[in-house]
């Protein structure tokens, strides 16, 4: 960055004390932008929008995933983690689910977002090394189809789906599955007895 700005590292460190503080500030900025969503009155739509914003931010900034994991495990009280939990948690509470489930439901969503988005970013980095995504998925699906049918019936059965899947759609389907579980609704909208 200092090279692009034609300054030395001292110019940045005039404003921040060290690399950790710089990463904290960059993380907070990227996360704040990713979580800026339009209030629609639908907690589900807003959770999906926040999740997709974080997914795309992590995809654009692969360094963000390890930073978020580090913040979550080492300093869950720092500025970024509470903002993510608060933003999603407010919407979880607006779903009308019992208060006793808010922490677990919000944690499930946040951990899924961090994990799935982080894995996608890691995959993108590998694919960024000159590997074609479609070719990689084809090779993976072909390898799964060649596995022993007695030992790997599941992987063989989903090989075609893995070959042609869309990462964002798969991610959002995961969010929808979690939201369905949180709200106690059956797929299709009816509620459980």
> From CA 72, how far away is CA 107, in angstroms rounded?
11
pLDDT at position 192, please? 47
In a domain, 149, yes or no: yes
pLDDT at position 154, please? 96
Burial 142-166 (b: 16+ CB within 10 A, else e): eebeeeeeeeeeebbeebeeebeee
In a domain, 109, yes or no: yes
pLDDT at position 67, please? 81
The per-residue pLDDT for range 83-99, each reduced to its tens digit, is: 899 999 999 999 999 99
Q: Give the range of the structural domain holding residue 136, as residue numbers without chain letter.
A: 9-183
Going residue by residue through the chain, which has 193 residues, state the pLDDT in tens, using 9 for 90 and above: 455 555 555 555 556 666 666 677 777 778 888 888 888 889 999 999 999 999 999 888 888 887 887 766 666 667 678 889 999 999 999 999 999 999 999 999 999 998 888 888 777 655 555 667 788 888 889 999 999 999 999 999 999 998 888 888 999 999 999 999 999 854 444 444 4
pLDDT at position 74, please? 65
In a domain, 90, yes or no: yes
pLDDT at position 146, please? 95
pLDDT at position 184, please? 85
Say which CATH number the domain at 38 has.
1.10.357.10
Task: Quickly list H helices, the chain.
Answer: 9-13, 19-34, 43-60, 64-74, 80-94, 102-127, 133-145, 153-163, 167-183
Number of domains the chain is built from:
1
Angle at 34 (CA atoms; ends 30, 109), nearest 5 degrees: 115
The per-residue pLDDT for range 37-61, each reduced to its tens digit, is: 888 889 999 999 999 999 999 888 8
pLDDT at position 156, please? 94
pLDDT at position 187, please? 46
User: And the tokens for 6?
Assistant: 């034609």
In a domain, 2, yes or no: no
Q: What is the pTM of this model?
A: 0.76
């Amino acid at each position: 960055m200092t090279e692009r700005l034609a300054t030395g590292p001292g110019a940045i460190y005039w404003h921040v004390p060290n690399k950790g503080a710089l990463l904290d500030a960059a993380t907070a900025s990227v996360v704040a932008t990713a979580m800026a969503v339009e209030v629609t009155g639908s907690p589900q739509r807003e959770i999906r929008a926040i999740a997709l914003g974080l997914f795309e931010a992590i995809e654009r900034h692969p360094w963000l995933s390890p930073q978020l994991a580090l913040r979550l495990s080492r300093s869950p009280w720092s500025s970024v983690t509470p903002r993510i939990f608060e933003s999603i948690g407010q919407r979880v509470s607006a779903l009308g689910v019992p208060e006793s489930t808010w922490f677990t439901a919000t944690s499930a969503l946040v951990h899924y977002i961090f994990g799935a988005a982080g894995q996608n970013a890691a995959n993108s980095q590998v694919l960024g090394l000159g590997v074609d995504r479609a070719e990689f998925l084809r090779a993976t699906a072909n390898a799964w189809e060649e596995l022993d049918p007695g030992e790997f019936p599941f992987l063989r059965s989903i090989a075609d789906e893995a070959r042609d899947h869309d990462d964002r759609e798969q991610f959002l389907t995961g969010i929808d599955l979690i939201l369905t579980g949180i709200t106690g609704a059956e797929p299709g909208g009816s509620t459980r007895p």
